[in-house]
Every structure is written in C-alpha cells, then in structure tokens.
Amino acid sequence: MTHACRRIVATGAALLTGLAGIAVIPPPAQAAPAQTEARAQGKVRYNTKTATSIGYGGAVTSVDPEASKIGIQVLRRGGNAVDAAVATAAALGVTEPYSSGIGGGGYFLHYDARTRKIGTIDGRETAPRTMPRNAFIDPRTGKPYNFTPQLVTSGVSVGTPGTLATWQKALRRWGTGSLAKVLRPATRLARRGFVVDKTFNQQTADNADRFANFPATRKLFLPGGKPPAVGSVFRNRDLAATYRLIGRRGTKVFYRGKLGRQIARTAQHPQKRRHPSLPIPAGHLTRRDLARYTAKVQAPTHVRYRGLDVFGPAPSSSGGSTVGEALNILERFDLRSMSDTDALHHYLEAGALAFADRGEYVGDPAFVKVPLAALLSDKYAAERACEIQPMHAATKPEDPGNVADYDGTCRATPAPARTKPDTENINTTNLTVTDRRGNIVEYTLTIEQTGGSGITVPHRGFLLNNELTDFTTEYDAADPNRIQPGKRPRSSIAPTVVLRNGAPFLALGSPGGATIITTVLQLLFDRVDRGMTIQQAIAAPRASPRNAADVSSEPAFIAKYGTALEAYGHSFARAGDAFTSASEIGAATAIEFGPGGRLTAVSEPVRRGGGSALVVRK
Ligand code: GLU
C-alpha cells in the first residue's frame, strides 16, 4: 500500500469517462514523496499523504488527505477550529463512510483559547423510547443474536443519530460559519468523487456479504455487485444532495422533517433483498425519537497527571473516566526510573484495573449513578494502585474497586466482579484541529462497526449506525450499561486535550472501540513517561489491557515485548477479530503545541493506510 496516494481526487473530464459513476484512474506509478499539497497531473489531482507536518497558524490531522485538506482550506480562508473540524468531519462522511457520517454519533471536545475553557458535546446515539430490554434476544431461540455479523447488521441496533446535532451545536456555540457554508466543500467532494484506495476497497470487501442484503447499500457501495476497484473513482451524489438539502433547510429536515421520516422508516423496515442471508431484526427508532434528540453540552473530565491537566469526555463515554483513572494509578509510580519492561508492566496493570471499574460503574448518567468523583480521585487511585505488584501480573479479570469505601490506603475492600466482553474493531474516525488563535477541537465520530448497521438510507447516501450494540447484550439489572429506553450506550470514545501550565500541550484521540481508551492512555504514557516524541508514540506498537486474561496486542508489540512481559505473568493475544482482516489497534491523530506557536501535527504513518497531517504554514 502506498501511503502517498491513498485517495485521489478526480475532476472534470476524468470523471466523464466513467460508467455508472465509476471511472478507473491509474494511481501514480510509484509512491510520491511525502508532501502536503496535492499536485496536478492532467485532469486528476493526486492528494499525497503526510504523516507529520510541523508549522504555524493552524493544523488539521485526520486519517484522510481530502478531509484534512478541506479543513486546512477552511482555516486558510479565516474559519476557526470548529468550522474546520465540522468541514473535515463532513468530508470524512464522504471518504470514510464506513466509519463516520450523519447516520452516527460522537464526542466533540473544544478548547477556547480566549476563555481557556474546555467544553464537550456528547452527540451519542440514543436508544429509542420504545426499545425493549430484550431487544437483542432472538425470539426464535430465546438466546442473544450472534453478535457479528447478525446483531450488528440490524435495524434494532440503530440509535438516534447525533452527529448532525453535534455539528450544529458546535458551530452555534463556538464556530463562525453556518452549517450550510461548512458543508459545501464536502458536498463538492461527494459529487466529484475520490479515487478508491486499498483500505476503502478492503473495508468494502470485508462488509460485502452483509451489504448485499440491502439493495440501497448494494447499489451505492457494491456497484456491479463488487467492491469498488482500487483506482476507480467513487462518487456519492446522493450524499451530496443530502448535504445540500441540510444546508438549505437546516438540521430540522433531519430531526423533524422528511429525512427523519425516512431514517425512522428505514430502521423499522430495512429494505432487504428477497432472501437475506442474515436475520436483520427490525428497529424501534421513530420520528419522535429524532425530534426529541439533543446533543448535550457537558463539562469535561479532568485529572492532573505529573503536573499536566488532562481533559476528556464525561459519561456517557467511559473514555475520560477510564483514561483518567488509569493515569491516576500510574502517577503513583516513578515510571521514569524503571526499566522499559517494568514501566510497560505497570501500564498493563493500570489499564486492567481501570477497565474493571469501567465495567462496574460507568453508564449513561441520565439513567445510572456514575461515581465519577471517586473514579477520578487520587485517593481512590492510590488504593487501586495497591493491587499492582512490582514484578508480577495479577490474575485477570481483576475485581472492581469499592467506590463507596476508600481512604487511599492498601487494604481489602471487596466489590463484585463483572466482566463483559468488548467489541474491538478499527472503526470510527478521529480528527484534531487547531486554528491561528489556538482554539482546539478534538473530535471522535463513528457509526460503530466498520460499515455500521450495513443499512443505507435509500437515495440519501449514508449508512445508519449500529451503536446500540455498545449496550451490554444481555439484560442485567445491576449492569450500568444495560439496555434502557432513551439511554445512551456506554462509549469508549476519548478525545483528549492536555494543558501544561494552563496552555495547550497536546490534543489527541483515536478510533478503535474499547481500544480507544488504551490507545489514548498508551499515547500519553509513551509521550510523558517513556520519553517518546508524539510521532514515535503514534507509530509505536500497541497493547490494549482491558482486564481480560490475554492482553490484546498488535503483533509488533508481542514480537518486541511479549517474552519479557510473559516473565511477569502477562499473556498476549493478537488484536483483531474474525470480521476484519487487520490486526491494528487505533488510527490516532494528535497535535503537539510547542514554543512560539510551533505545531507538530501527526497522523498514523501506517495503520489504516496512513493519515494526513497538515499545517496552515510550514
Ligand atoms: N462504539 C465505539 C464507542 O463508542 C466507537 C466505535 C468504535 O471505534 O468501535 O466506544
């Protein structure tokens, strides 16, 4: 896979050669040297990729060169970080339609350079008001639907989308442009198309069997019955028209108008082929659910870590609380004076402990009492840190701590154990933006599984999420993440901003389901405690300690550290699942803020085909 040419924008005549929306355009003969700007080659412009850019005046980093470029153009034309972030996100809806889009949700974190305040928007998908607690039980068998691909490919897993409400709220509170204006570049991109790369082709191929069940999805994403070929131009005119409609009529057309009616109808009665290969249980989403949806403005989570202030999203995401708790635990140890292996052992143990508490205590705070203050307190972390033995990995799963009774000392405080399996895919997408004034947006958005529910809203050009599969599948009255009507399923999304002496130091985030938490934690640990640069931290091999018997890890991590850490009693399993062919963890983006306004914008050099980090001025 050449990183230099993952996406290629085609223009004008090149597209006219296409049949049924597809024109084959050969990629450049060899990988172009990394560079930020597109270079013109006849009628086709090849957008090259840059994993890291250093410069001034603003920066945008995402997994996709078209999206990052659109964000940079917004900044260059005087838009602020929020305008650019929404424009970038809308473009990702075009080029990353299996990971994000207006059929999904996400968490938006904003740092205001003037007030130095951080605000977040919880744009999480929400369970319909009529969703029954046994929604994930197959009535034919009385047992839960098999998770992948059966449950994930369903109307029943479609939550009320929050992405569009998030964009509107962010623009109104902190942006300068209208929604209509910031949607325009992505509208043009959807109409004009981008050239399919190996990642897009592979993601489509991984989903082809379930996509084929839905005529609208098949028509859009499997033209001619096959995944779009590498080098062909993929256009989404339906999405362009949808963006234009929203630009003209505002979000009400989505939440209270004809788009909303169509979304509800599609979730309740997905159009399927005559003999579908999967059960495809129908959903419960109604127009009323859409009309009642709100993206919530929330205070961020906050912990101090070695003199830094670390902010993340509050529940309904477990991202901020779990990263925060793990950092507080790690802070008890002088990691810098340890050998690398000892430090990694502590990282693995802290991650497991924080995950035990996540499973026991975190859910949507509108429905369950989340002991956030305890989870983020140093005293509680001091007590949890007592569970870590210097040279010896604890048996997993670890029990959660006792948030009702802690005093920071090492003593036995039993609490019930509960562990639920997490899904783990490289889905979702993340972007980091800053503008010339120093405002920052860190934003993770998703439709959950790569390919979401697999259900495209007919003639609208976007997939519906399957975010409700983030609820615990089987109802358990004691589980904070049990299904409840109107509730937001617990997320792991963790857009994070770090301040040093009250000024921005780092902004970062990642996709990856529950591995998001450990990726963000590992990035901070690698950058702050292991002395890596942010570029090195993003490239470094990952392990995802989530309180399971085996630590799910990238093969490169196992190859490098496996033997040394097995001596402590850790055991490892290759990351990934049967559904995707990759065994990568995360596809992070970050911006580091240096002296004199110097910005280091970083995206993945390799994972998910590599990303694109751009600056306004080199
Ligand atoms: N559903 C995930 C979460 O909110 C995000 C999607 C993913 O990356 O798996 O935690």
Active-site option among 50, 217, 428, 496: 428
pLDDT in tens, 39-63: 333 343 556 789 999 999 999 999 9
pLDDT (0 to 100) of residue 45: 52
> d(Cα 271, Cα 273) in Å, to the nearest integer?
7
- Chain Cα centroid distance, residue 88: 14
pLDDT (0 to 100) of residue 8: 40
Which of 99, 362, 427 best tests ligand 1's pocket when mutated (most atoms within 8 Å of CB)? Answer: 427
Of ligand 1's listed atoms, the one at least distance from the Cα of 444 is: 5
Q: Which two tokens stand for residue 335?
A: 């990691």
- Distance of CA 450 from the midpoint of ligand 1 (Å): 10
pLDDT (0 to 100) of residue 261: 98
- Distance of CA 513 from the midpoint of ligand 1 (Å): 4
Residues contacting 374, CB < 8 A, separation 6+: 380, 403, 406
Alpha carbon nearest to ligand 1 atom 1, residue? 448
Which of 163, 491, 579 best tests ligand 1's pocket when mutated (most atoms within 8 Å of CB)? Answer: 491
pLDDT in tens, 411-445: 876 666 666 656 555 678 999 999 999 999 999 99
Overall average pLDDT of the 573-578 stretch: 80
3-state percent breakdown (helix, strand, coil) of the chain, nearest 5: 35, 20, 45
- Distance of CA 494 from the midpoint of ligand 1 (Å): 10
- Distance of CA 444 from the midpoint of ligand 1 (Å): 9
- Distance of CA 333 from the midpoint of ligand 1 (Å): 30
The 10 Å Cβ neighbour count of residue 597 is: 14
Q: Are strands 551-553 and 543-544 parallel, antiparallel or unpaired?
A: antiparallel
Lowest mean pLDDT among 19-28, 230-239, 324-333: 19-28
Which of 516, 544, 577 best tests ligand 1's pocket when mutated (most atoms within 8 Å of CB)? Answer: 516
pLDDT (0 to 100) of residue 577: 64
Overall average pLDDT of the 472-483 stretch: 93
pLDDT (0 to 100) of residue 423: 57
pLDDT (0 to 100) of residue 465: 98
pLDDT (0 to 100) of residue 404: 93
pLDDT (0 to 100) of residue 23: 37
Of ligand 1's listed atoms, the one at least distance from the Cα of 489 is: 4
Overall average pLDDT of the 243-251 stretch: 98
Instruction: Confirm if 155 and 280 have CB atoms less than 8 A apart.
Output: yes
Residue 71 binned pLDDT confidence (cut-offs 50, 70, 90): very high
Mean pLDDT of the residues in the chain: 91
- Distance of CA 221 from the midpoint of ligand 1 (Å): 22
pLDDT (0 to 100) of residue 578: 57
This prediction's pTM? 0.93
pLDDT in tens, 91-142: 999 999 999 999 999 999 999 999 999 999 999 999 999 999 999 999 999 9
* % residues pLDDT > 70 (the chain): 89
pLDDT (0 to 100) of residue 49: 87
> d(Cα 268, Cα 58) in Å, to the nearest integer?
44
pLDDT (0 to 100) of residue 38: 36
Is 428 annotated in the active site? yes
Of ligand 1's listed atoms, the one at least distance from the Cα of 124 is: 4
Beta strands in 261-318 (DSSP E): 296-298, 301-305, 308-312
User: Which residue ranges have their beta carbon within 6 Å of ligand 1?
Assistant: 425, 427-428, 446, 448, 467, 470, 491-493, 511-513, 516
The residue type found at 91 is: A
pLDDT (0 to 100) of residue 416: 64
Asked if pLDDT for residue 27 goes beyond 70, the answer is no
Alpha carbon nearest to ligand 1 atom 4, residue? 491
Of ligand 1's listed atoms, the one at least distance from the Cα of 448 is: 6
Asked if pLDDT for residue 30 goes beyond 70, the answer is no
Secondary structure of 468-500 as H, E, C letters: HHHCCCCCCCCCCCCCCCCCCCCECCCCEEEEE
pLDDT in tens, 184-217: 999 999 999 999 999 999 999 999 999 999 999 9
* % residues pLDDT > 90 (the chain): 87
Asked if pLDDT for residue 581 goes beyond 80, the answer is no
Rg of the chain over Cα atoms, rounded to whole angstroms, equals: 23
Residue 145 binned pLDDT confidence (cut-offs 50, 70, 90): very high
pLDDT in tens, 273-320: 999 999 999 999 999 999 999 999 999 999 999 999 999 999 999 999
> d(Cα 324, Cα 302) in Å, to the nearest integer?
7
Alpha carbon nearest to ligand 1 atom 6, residue? 448
Of ligand 1's listed atoms, the one at least distance from the Cα of 428 is: 8
